[in-house]
Amino acid sequence: MATVTVVGKAATQTTLAAAAAAGSANIKVAADANMMAGDTLMVGSGGRKESVTVKSIGTAGAGGTGVDLTAPLRFDHMKGIDLSDAGTGSAFRQPRASRM
């Protein structure tokens, strides 16, 4: 048994809803569930994989307002490329050993 001490937020795995150009500080995502300001997103894969920080969340979809980033993208990214937000997880406390 363990006691839950912190309930975090779930991870998000999605894709870019529209292509994103290097130098852009806004990306259009297919889904933004559980994303929030301050989160670190991983965009792309391989040599074009980059880590970005969320400044603010708008609306999802190619026609939405998107996700604003604290710094511009370094690489161009195609529509449909993988994007993930690791979430925060949960914390647990192990019970004290019983003394008899």
User: Domain coordinates of the chain in residue numbers?
Assistant: 9-89
CB 43 within 8 Å of CB 73: yes
- Predicted local distance difference test score (pLDDT) of residue 10: 75
CATH class of 9-89: mainly beta
Ordered mean pLDDT values, 10 residues apiece, the chain (100 residues): 73 94 98 91 94 97 97 97 84 67
Handedness of CA 28, 13, 81, 22 (dihedral sign): positive
- Predicted local distance difference test score (pLDDT) of residue 11: 80
- Predicted local distance difference test score (pLDDT) of residue 72: 98
- Predicted local distance difference test score (pLDDT) of residue 8: 72
| φ/ψ of residue 9, rounded to 5 | -110, 150
> Does the reported pTM lie above 0.85?
no
